[in-house]
Structure 1
Amino acid sequence: MFSNLPHFVVLDLETTGDSPLHDRITEVALVRFENGIETDRWETLVNPGVSIPPFISRLTGITNEMVKDAPAFDEIAHKLYGYIEGAVLAAHNVRFDHGFLKSEFRRLGAVLRQKVMCTVKLSRRLYPEHRSHGLDAIMQRHSLVTCARHRAMGDVNLLVAYLALAKRELGEKRVLDEVAALLKGPSLPAGLDAAFLDEIPDSAGVYLFYGENNLPLYIGKSVTLRSRVISHFSGDHSSSKAMRIGQQVNRVEWIETAGELGALLLESSLIKERKPIHNRRLRSTRTLFSLSLTGGTDQIPLINIVTEDDIDPASFDHLFGFFRSKKAAMDALRKIAVDNRLCPRAIGLEGASAQGAGTGNPCFAHQIKRCDGVCAGKELPELHYLRLKQALIPLRLKPWPYPGRIGFREFNEVSGHSQLHVFDKWCHLGTVQNGEELEDLLQARSSLSFDLDVYNLLQKSLRKNPVIISLESPSRSVYHSF
């Protein structure tokens, strides 16, 4: 492949998901090069010890039946290490593959320290005129083919062919120069001592970048903190924003968490609290709006647009949709009215009053045949109300599926760090480290404060079928399970 790189391994993994902390490897494939010559080629299925989700099987073609008799990772670890030891590990989005390998070796009590090279970053350097650098985009524009896309060796072969093509098109020197630039390591801004990098754990958590005058610049999260922080100083910035952040940092802090959900919750909370200048999305304090349905036909208008202060998580059965502006809520309601021939006056789009609806005074929409006529007495109010409820179904908010407060436990197998995230009615009440903190939190009976980011995070996490602990009548074993 590259004669000036004596040890070079192109690798690809297939996994049960995208989280190195929770998911497992199902397939490994690699090709090893020495002095530019292919010397080894190896692939194996791996029994992950957990079920492969159906959508992953559809994507990769790897089923539970296929891996049933395959070796577990601990059975192939020694052989795999023999292939990659002392070599530059190259992969497309190498952070993903390297993260899974490090997690698997950590579970065996070993620390994997590997020099890595990301071929996505290399592609950006070699072909900066293109926007997309995923394997599918590379295949399309370079007319590369594979009969086994999303299988480990199929993707390795595709990557090897792409690197060989780049060498032919651009010349080996150009490619080697860009590889060397990626391998030279992080370029830290003046005043930031590189020694701190070795102190950062490569586990889940939140990192905080500070600039002059202790000004918070950026807050981020990762399931591999050290790797993520280093990537900010790699010199291969995908945007001018990333470059500015990297140049302005003069102090870095980090907070380790037990898992990914803890990192996400802490990141969201810290961004809203400290408002770092480069976190625009999560620090937004714009008011949240929702559509509130009245309890019956005698309350006109039938729909009210309520703000965040009136959004009660305990009454989601009357709320429909979340909107970042009143205009967005009105636009959604207007579309529902048009699509379902509902009366805009009755549902509050035309300043309805109890006296103006259903008294023979037709709204303008009815006059142009876009309303079935509840306003003119031509449709029963009960039928109109029922049609409105049916039209709102796609916007229906998911009710809290538990009888009360729950605990979502995360445990880091390597560090032994355990956390319990406590929720009630989609609201995050707090995160505790031990039984004493849990008892204090449960006794405090904190008021519920709805946060859309927390709502979305928790819904996504619950889809992964975690172990949930009921906290309404917690046993003593819960208090001592940390």
Structure 2
Amino acid sequence: MFTIKIIFFDTETSGLDCSCCKIIELAMLTVENGIIVDTYDEFIDIGEFISPKISQLTGITNNMIQNEGIDEETVAYDLKERLTANTLMVAHNCQFDLQFVYSLLKRHFPDDADYIVSNLNWIDTVSVLKDRKDYPHKLIDAVKYYGIGEVNFHRAIDDAKALYQVAVAMKNERDDLSEYINIFGYNPKFGVSGIKFPFIEYKRQPYHNRGLLPQERCLPRR
């Protein structure tokens, strides 16, 4: 179904701002030629306590991080090994996850981080979903919309697996995902959040209530 290397990934973080917060769980599902070839899911011991609010939101506790987490440097090397040039990276609300992945790499490979992320391709499935269905557009909404089976949303790897199924359903619904590569939609009311990457084209994408838009009105063609 897919003929290139694709990594479906998800992050859980200690907060919303990548300049002062860090990834506490990273999951990656690598697919080559439609076959899952690698599954990666690690808690990351960031050397600081996470707040009760973050634990409530993510289901990740300080005990889980301290007892099961690995050091961030190891994760950075794992990322560098997997993020080979031209790999297609897919995430739901990719702008958020991309910022945190970039910030992690920048801390450990300051001379290489920009090169690594700019030589990848990126798809934001939220941007795709906004052209397919009415608000809301969370991953759980996509799962329900496409009739995907029960998903455990308490772990990042389960989100990555669900995202893979969502992407397959999107491709079957309308085979235009490649048009969204390196194009991220943003709500014009709030603008682009955080780092603006030069290799991403940011386009205004207000909410609508017209369901599946005709292709000529979809984000890549606006």
TM range (shorter): 0.7 to 0.9
Q: Structure 2: how far apart are the matches of 1:145 and 1:27?
A: 24
The residue aligned with 2:31 is 33
Query: Partners in 2 of 1:220 and 1:164 — Cα distance?
Result: 29
Q: Which residue of 2 aligns with 1:372?
A: none
| Residue in structure 2 matched with residue 115 of structure 1 by the alignment | 121
Q: How many angstroms apart in 2 are the aligned matches of 1:124 and 1:20?
A: 25
C-alpha change, 1:54 and 1:228, in structure 2 (3 Å) is farther
Q: Determine the structure 1 residue equivalent to 2:98.
A: 98
Contact 1:28 1:44 in 2 (8 A): yes
- Over 3 Å counting, the alpha-carbon distance change for 1:42 and 1:180 in structure 2 is same
Partner of 2:211: none
Q: Which has the higher contact order (CA 8 A, sep 6+)?
A: 2
What is the identity, as a one-letter code, of the residue corresponding to 2:57? Answer: L
- Say whether the 8 Å CA contact 2:183–2:200 is kept in structure 1: no
The residue identity in structure 1 corresponding to 2:58 is: T
Amino acid at match of 1:71: I
Number of the residue aligned with 2:205? 238
After superposition, the Cα gap between the structure-2 partners of 1:219 and 1:12, relative to the gap in structure 1 and judged at 3 Å, is closer
Spell out structure 1 runs of 4+ moving beyond 3 A: 218-222, 225-230
Change (3 A) 1:151 1:229: same
Cα distance between partner residues in 2 of 1:76 and 1:11: 14
Q: Based on CA coordinates, which of the two structures has the bigger radius of gyration?
A: 1
1:20-419 paired onto structure 2 within 5 Å: 20-69=18-67, 70-86=69-85, 87-108=87-108, 109=110, 110-111=112-113, 112-113=116-117, 114-125=120-131, 127=132, 129-168=133-172, 170=173, 174-175=174-175, 178-183=176-181, 222-226=193-197, 230-232=201-203, 237-239=204-206
Residues in 2 aligned to 1:115 and 1:29: alpha-carbon distance in whole angstroms: 18
Deviations 1:244-296 (A, max 9, x none): xxxxxxxxxxxxxxxxxxxxxxxxxxxxxxxxxxxxxxxxxxxxxxxxxxxxx
1:141 deviates by 2.8
1:145 CA displacement: 3.9
Aligned partners of 2:121 and 2:182 also within 8 Å: no
Q: Distance in 1 between matches of 2:190 and 2:97?
A: 24
What does the per-residue CA deviation read over 1:404-434, in whole Å, with 9 as the maximum and x for residues that have no partner? xxxxxxxxxxxxxxxxxxxxxxxxxxxxxxx
- SS state at 2:28 partner: strand
Contact 2:182 2:201 in 1 (8 A): no
Secondary structure at 2:105's aligned position in 1?
Answer: helix
- When normalised by structure 2's length, the TM-score is 0.77
- Say if 1:60 and 1:185 are closer, same or farther in 2 by CA, change over 3 A: closer
Q: Is the 8 A contact 1:222 1:228 kept in 2?
A: no
Q: How many residues align?
A: 196
Shift in CA distance, 11/221, structure 1 to aligned 2, threshold 3 Å: closer
Cα offset, 1:147, TM superposition = 4.5
User: Which structure 2 segments of 5+ residues have no match?
Assistant: 208-216, 218-222
Asked whether the 8 Å contact 1:10–1:31 carries over to 2, the reply is yes
Distance between the aligned counterparts of 2:38 and 2:200, measured in 1?
A: 33
- Write the deviation string for residues 314-349 of structure 1: whole angstroms up to 9, x where unpaired: xxxxxxxxxxxxxxxxxxxxxxxxxxxxxxxxxxxx
Structure 1 stretches lacking a partner, 5+ long: 187-217, 244-482
Distance 1:135 1:219 in 2: 20
Once residues 152 and 57 of structure 1 are traced to their aligned partners in structure 2, the CA distance between those partners, rounded to angstroms, is: 14
1:42-67 deviation digits (Å, cap 9, x = unpaired) = 11111122211111111221111111
Change (3 A) 1:52 1:159: same
The answer (yes or no) to whether the contact 1:9–1:33 under 8 Å persists in 2 is yes
CA shift, 1:22, in A, is: 1.0
**CA distance in structure 2 between the aligned counterparts of 1:160 and 1:229, rounded to whole angstroms:** 22
| Alpha-carbon shift at residue 30 of structure 1 (Å) | 1.0
Structure 2: distance between partners of 1:183 and 1:161 = 18
* Structure 2 equivalent of residue 9 of structure 1: 7
1:68 counterpart SS class = helix
CA distance in 2, matches of 1:30, 1:119: 15
Letter in 1 for 2:128: L
CA 1:229/1:40 → structure 2, altered by over 3 Å: closer, same or farther?
closer
Inter-CA distance 185–149: structure 2 relative to 1 (3 Å threshold): closer
Deviation of 1:73 (Å):
1.4
Secondary structure of the corresponding residue to residue 197 of structure 2: helix
| C-alpha separation in 2, matches of 1:83 and 1:132 | 32
Cα distance between partner residues in 2 of 1:136 and 1:130: 14
Shift, 1:239, TM fit: 2.9
CA contact (8 A) 1:24 1:50 kept: no
Determine the C-alpha separation between the residues in 1 that align with 2:79 and 2:17: 21
CA distance, structure 2, for counterparts of residue 123 and residue 155 of structure 1: 16
Deviation of 1:179 after TM superposition, in Å, equals 1.9
Distance 2:65 2:163 in 1: 25
Partner of 2:213: none
